[in-house]
């Protein structure tokens, strides 16, 4: 632990991910965008989470066992594209006006079955779900309020997508004073060709690690 002008600053990984002030955030692991037979899959845009799902399932089990809070974000669209900005309509205009491609964009609509988190990772009773209308989970949501109320200092980012929601949310967290931590075996991209670039940024601004290393610090803390 560092001391600076009367303040105590976490330094080691164990201090940064101390269970009392840490939350694990599961980003956007929803049926419509990741599961077979749902909206994205029907138009060939399904996000492959096969590699990260097993370690993420184990990591959440370990987090809960050690008393670490778990929160979820769920990307949310309003019906009939009511939450789309002019900028996004311009960017997606061709797909919005193509009946086949439009189907994928109609996914993740609030409170529909496909909007829910996949069954393998579904939230437990009492765990907070953040409905977000933008890729940055802080914009227009109560996320920061919930974190401050619970004296959280560290956000462990898991789920998808490294280059879409995780990168801007981790950057935002850093800017407002939280420690962003990224277990690299528990995050994945939307578009694989952008993953390495996103991870270069995340390794620079966040604390890069593996889920097993985080769990080892929790185990060691529990033995004391």
Domains parsed from the chain with CATH numbers: 12-223 (3.40.50.850)
Q: Give tens-digit pLDDT for 155-173.
A: 999 999 999 999 999 999 9
* pLDDT for 65: 97
pLDDT at position 139 over 90: yes
- Cβ–Cβ under 8 Å, residues 198 and 163: yes
pTM as predicted? 0.95
Mean pLDDT of the chain: 96
Position 43 confidence tier, pLDDT thresholds 50, 70, 90: confident
Position 101 confidence tier, pLDDT thresholds 50, 70, 90: confident
**In terms of DSSP H, where are the helices of the chain?**
13-16, 31-34, 39-42, 53-65, 86-91, 93-96, 99-105, 143-149, 167-175, 195-205, 211-223
């Amino acid at each position: 632990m560092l001391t600076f002008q009367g303040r105590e600053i976490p330094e080691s990984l164990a201090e940064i991910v101390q269970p009392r002030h840490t939350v694990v955030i599961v980003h956007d692991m929803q049926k419509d965008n990741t599961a077979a037979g749902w909206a994205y899959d029907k138009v060939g845009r399904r996000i492959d989470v096969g590699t990260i799902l097993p370690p993420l399932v184990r990591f959440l089990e370990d987090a809960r066992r050690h008393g670490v809070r778990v929160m979820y974000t769920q990307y949310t669209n309003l019906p009939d594209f009511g939450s789309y900005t002019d900028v996004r309509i311009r960017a997606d205009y061709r797909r919005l006006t193509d009946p086949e491609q439009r189907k994928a964009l109609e996914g993740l609509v609030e409170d529909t079955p496909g909007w829910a988190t996949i069954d393998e990772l579904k939230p437990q009773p009492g765990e907070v779900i953040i409905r977000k209308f933008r890729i940055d989970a802080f914009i227009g949501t109560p996320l920061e309020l919930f974190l401050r109320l619970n004296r959280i200092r560290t956000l462990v980012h898991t789920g998808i997508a490294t280059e879409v929601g995780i990168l801007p949310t981790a950057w935002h967290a850093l800017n407002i004073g939280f420690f962003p931590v990224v277990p690299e075996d528990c995050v994945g991209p939307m578009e694989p060709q952008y993953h390495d670039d996103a991870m270069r940024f995340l390794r620079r601004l966040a604390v890069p690690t593996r889920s097993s290393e985080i769990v080892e610090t929790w185990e060691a803390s529990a033995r004391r």
